[in-house]
Amino acid sequence: MTVAGRFSALQFRDFRLFWFGQIVSLSGTWMQSVAQGWLVYSLTKSPLYLGLVAASGSLPILLFTLAGGVAADRFRKRNLLLTTQALSILPAFLLGILTDINMITVWQVALLAAVLGTVNAFDIPARQSFLIELVGRDSLTSAIALNSAAFHGARMIGPLIAGTTIASLGLPACFYLNALSFVAVIIALSRMEIRGAIQDTSNGFIRDFNEGIRFIKSRPEIYRAILLIGVFSLVAMPFITLLPIFAGEVLKAGATGFGFLVGATGAGALAAALSLAFRRDIADKSRFISAAALISSFALLVFSMSRSLPLSVAALILVGWGLVSFLATVNSFIQLSVPDNLRGRVMSVFTLVFLGTAPLGNSIVGFAADYTGTPKIVTISALICMAASVIFSMKISGGKWYSRLS
């Protein structure tokens, strides 16, 4: 297979527009994420508040993402995404103004994070299920991998730019630049054709949602994979919100070091996304996903025990690689397995488990880190994920669902 064949989604004009717009917008989003974390740390010096603010941004996803999935199946996804991108400008711009005039408080940061989280609850299911409308089923895996590459490429680029921007222009500049970055996606979406099927009839929100749940229950292979993702999201993903503590207190690396830590995770994730897009297939997916989960867990354990910036960066590269390797593989499988009229709702459950458990995880880990120490709680989280990965491997070792993916 040629390189063009492996990256076949780029042959579609609308996907190219969407993809390049995503790179710009997501880079701005990661800039804001880094700046917001550093702002909260500067205001409070507390891992508890870092966890609470992160939870406030994720809680709306827990509350509203299922409604977002129903909306993604009822309305034109392009129009829905145009609305969410326009609404995302407001909290970023307000955060920049309040920080600029020195009137910002940690509770204002939390409130604006909650507003953006509410918008994302409708944006993410629509975004996930929009890809197949842009490229069709044959190029969907390529589109998912490239979209993941854009996300994690931005995750690498955005924090590095944020570290430099904070040092040279100050925190408010990151928020202003993020507000401006959403314009790129709005322009891209406005130039696309409206396409794709929508749900013609509705039996009410509860019944519409239950259709998606029944489908997931009928596919235990999907259920088990989503469950593993849920464990990682609950106890492992919150380490990202604690990176300011590692940079400022554990590694003594400051804002620049913080940017390198976040960027390292993005670098590993980008490498995983590109390798998945470039490879034709994975011969033994059960071993691949189990190995990726174990590698990321072990790397997180090393990071929690490291007191060296280079070693911490190297460990986080492996963490990013392992997390994205199994996340992207499961994402592709689910999207190819679900009927078109259920895709938004099923992906909203995926989003709920992946991102919606973050408020609880961030709160628990934040509270625990405040009392037991940040490195210690990340060590415990890594050990839990290692155990979950082993159990997952044992549960599916006798199954045949991965052979159906081959």
Per-residue pLDDT of 12-62, as tens digits, reads 888 888 898 888 888 888 888 888 988 998 888 887 888 788 778 878 888
Res 379 pLDDT > 90: yes
Per-residue pLDDT, 378: 92
> Which of 18, 51, 213 lies closest to 134 in space, CA to CA?
18
> With contact defined as beta carbons under 8 Å apart, do 62 and 356 qualify?
yes
**Boundaries of every domain in the chain:** 7-190+205-405
- Measured CA to CA, the distance from residue 329 to residue 130 in angstroms comes to 18
Q: Is the pLDDT of residue 406 over 50?
A: no
Residue 288 has pLDDT above 90, yes or no: no
pLDDT at 97: 94
> Is pLDDT at 402 greater than 50 in this prediction?
no
| 175 neighbors 92 (Cβ within 8 angstroms) | yes
**Most trustworthy range by pLDDT among 246-260, 284-298, 308-322:** 308-322
Of the candidate ranges 255-264, 294-303, 314-323, 373-382, the one whose mean pLDDT is the lowest: 255-264
25-34, 82-91, 288-297, 329-338: segment of lowest average pLDDT: 329-338
The dihedral region occupied by 105, where left means phi > 0, alpha psi between -120 and 50, and beta the remainder, is: beta
Tell me if residue 66 falls in helix, strand or coil: helix
Higher pLDDT, 3 or 131: 131
CA atoms of 312 and 309, how far apart (whole Å): 5
Mean pLDDT over 189-215 rounds to 70
Residues 391 and 231 sit within 8 Å (Cβ to Cβ): no
Q: 295-333 burial, b if ≥16 CB within 10 A, otherwise e? A: bbbbbbbbbbebeebeebbbbbbbbbbbbbbbbbbbbbb
Instruction: Tell me which residue has tokens 């990013």.
Output: 320
Q: What is the mean pLDDT of the chain?
A: 82
| Cα separation, 356 vs 284, whole angstroms | 30
Q: Is the pLDDT of residue 256 over 60?
A: yes
- CA-to-CA distance for 160 and 259, rounded, in angstroms? 5
Q: What does the block give as tokens for 211? A: 């259709």
What's the N-to-C CA distance of the chain in angstroms? 17
* pLDDT band, very low/low/confident/very high, at 331 (cuts 50, 70, 90): confident
Cβ within 8 Å of residue 397, ≥6 positions away:
286
- Residues 6 or more apart whose Cβ sits within 8 Å of residue 55: 358, 359, 360, 362, 363, 366
**260 and 163 Cβ atoms separated by less than 8 Å:** yes
Least confident span in 6-10, 116-120, 297-301: 6-10
Q: Phi, psi at residue 20, to the nearest 5°?
A: -70, -35
Which residues are CB-neighbours of 43 under 8 A, at least 6 positions away?
49, 104, 105, 106, 109
Place of tokens 């630049």: 177
- What tokens appear for 336 in the block? 């190819």
Strand, coil or helix: 284: coil
Top pLDDT among 205 and 9 is at: 9
Integer-rounded Cα radius of gyration of the chain? 20
pLDDT tier at 166, thresholds 50, 70, 90: confident
Per-residue confidence band for 400, with pLDDT thresholds at 50, 70 and 90: very low
Q: Which 8-state DSSP code applies to residue 117?
A: H
Identify which of 161-165, 194-198, 291-295, 390-394 has the greatest average pLDDT. 291-295
Per-residue pLDDT tens over the stretch 118-156: 999 899 888 888 888 888 777 777 787 788 888 877 777
pLDDT surpasses 90 at 164: no
What confidence score (pLDDT) does residue 405 get? 43
Cβ distance 28 to 155 under 8 Å? Answer: no
d(CA 315, CA 304): 9
pLDDT in tens, 346-362: 888 888 888 777 777 87
* Helices and strands (DSSP H and E) totals, the chain: 17, 0
In tens, the pLDDT along 54-100 reads: 778 878 888 888 888 888 888 888 889 999 999 999 999 999 999 99
User: Domain 7-190+205-405: which topology?
Assistant: Growth Hormone; Chain: A; (1.20.1250)
* % of the chain at pLDDT higher than 70: 90
Q: What is the DSSP string of 180-232?
A: HHHHHHHHHHHTSPP-----S----HHHHHHHHHHHHHT-HHHHHHHHHHHHH
